[in-house]
Structure 1
Amino acid sequence: MNMRKPEMWTNCVYQEFPITFDDVAVYFSEEEWDSLEVNQRLLYVNVMLDNYNALLYLGCIHETPDVIVRMKLRQGPYNFLEHKELANYERNVNRAIHKYNAYRKAASVISKYPTKIKSGTEAKKLDGVGAKIAEKIDEFLATGKLRKLEKIRQDDTSSSINFLTRVSGIGPAAARKLVDEGIKNLEDLRSNEHKLNHHQKIGLKYFEDFEMRIPRSEMMQMQEIVLNDVNELDADFIATVCGSFRRGAESSGDMDILLTHPHFTSQTSKQGVCQLPSDGDKVFPFRRIDIRLIPKDQYFCGVLYFTGSDIFNKNMRGHALEQGFTLNEYTLRPLGVTGIAGEALPIDSEKDIFDYIQYKYREPKERSE
């Protein structure tokens, strides 16, 4: 069984040797597949499709292999990657944030549906799935492909923009500017490093490491080190590791830490790179780490916001408005009759926010929408 080998992506970019789907695919017989636990199926489906998507981003294949088609058709509601990929296209290339949000929401509700979606009509009954997305679901269920996505994958400009945004520090606007200048891949970036800012240079330097998800076990080790160091620095600091890790995810893209201190009133943030100490012969990858220092009176709004998910946050803000409040990452404020926000309300916990807006409290692990 082959798992993803990050160094292979670099070799593919530099064309040091040809790489094919067979190099990274994960195969099972029907009997083996049926014998797996659900969480194991989720793991291997994601590995296989993630490998395939990585190859697509690097331009190694342009046709969907039959084995991937069969896997997607068999996959059911587990991970509607096509809609997530379309969402990224709308955000990074079209800059259509409303479509990006629509695809993300649809992918989220479909992934949580308890049984396999059998038609677009059935999917339309779910909150967040409209007529156009339902049509795409019918097409996907019938063929295992989406014509729009196949076309996007074969468009050099779209593929290049999507790929460059995977480099930490390069957003959609910067990616388009680079592509317009003929910079489309890692080799081009390394040849034009003088055009990158410090953040982007770091993203390029550690690209292969940053592409790898951080297993929860590694996140736990990093959290222990960080919290111990913070406590040794000053026991009055309060620190929370947020993001998907706090929501219970089995892997994370980076480590996002929020800090506060009763005697500090300023706000600042630092982005950096960290690496766990080697364990015998095992050398850990470099990881991204973001640290934000937030005033105490804004801390729990910040913890709520940076825990996410982004769709959960959007729903929470919408409910707050319905109840006569405005909520953001800093404060919760009541709205007056003229629509002008009043003074920030005192908040000493996340639950205070839920109570103010009369929203049933949800543990972090219940917020992955």
Structure 2
Amino acid sequence: MKLNKAIKGRGAQQNTPNAFLKHIYETRDDFLEFCRIEGEEADNNKTQYISVFPKTIVNKVTSPDVGMMFSMNTYQGCEHGCIYCYARNTHEYWGYSAGLDFERRILVKKDAPRLLEAQLKSKNWKACTIVLSGNTDCYQPAEKKFMITRACLEVFLKYRHPVGVITKNALILRDLDILKQLAQHQLVAVNISVTSLSEATRRILEPRTTTIKKRLETIRVLSENNIPVNAMLAPIIPGINSHEIMNLAKAVSEHGATSFAFTVVRLNGAIGAIFTDWIRKTLPDKADKVLHQIQECHGGTLNDSRFGVRNRGEGKIATQIHDLVKLARHTYFRGKTFPKLRTDLHDIYKNGQMKLF
């Protein structure tokens, strides 16, 4: 589906075809003209929350490029609307588009706390950090309504199990009480995504995310409460935020982050078409330059599925990015370390009784 007018508050400006479906839904010009004449909306741009009922909630991560072994997602789809998001493609598995559907049809897993508790109580489960938001943000706007992430954090605390969190939303501070208790036992670490220091850039790249000021403030508050924070300066997009690496590293370090990570943007699957459509409408003067530079980082294409290379990129531009990252770490993160979480407490709380020695 394509709409003629820019869609406010959304990243994607179209619904790309689902690779797994035979039929394609298309909004024709004659229908749009009919809506205009009749004074009707062709598209109301509203978010829909759809309950789903998976049988399990914890996923084993097999990719060697991702620094986690297990993840869980309380929601599928994400209203934040980040145009570059790698998770967009997964919405096609549910029968939706990776474009506007990803931002407007949010799948809600209300049973997540119960499924998590069953996993942590399993005899075969050995404590290993589970990361909330391995795919989509657990503190996206839906969390205000459903509070599923908070309920999951309570389960992690109850069973003294290590948990990591990835988010770009200041809503995480709502759960500071639970996070502080987890941190007392060295059971939680938070990853805050900061992709730019420019609000103008943030608004077009990530239209429904919290402001940069609030994200930096979130890092500061978490750090002051002894909750370790790793800043995710990702993705680095040549020609859009690649010039900000040093300033980004300085800002997150000054606000208390103990480390930072980064990736070079890649546009796999439907994301290539979504991003290309977006940049030609949003930044037309930069579009060709940015797209060509992304291609230069990935062997001449926007797609890159090569393990060990896809997140790092290659070539001169990627090398320049890596050199800046090394300099930023040397300048602003010397002597800082990101702590490991404890895994030795869980057995006692899983069984509900102390082990005999």
Bigger radius of gyration among the two: 1
Name the TM-score, length of structure 1 as normaliser.
Answer: 0.32
**If each structure's helix is expressed as a fraction of its own residues, which one has the higher value?**
1
Name the TM-score, length of structure 2 as normaliser.
Answer: 0.33
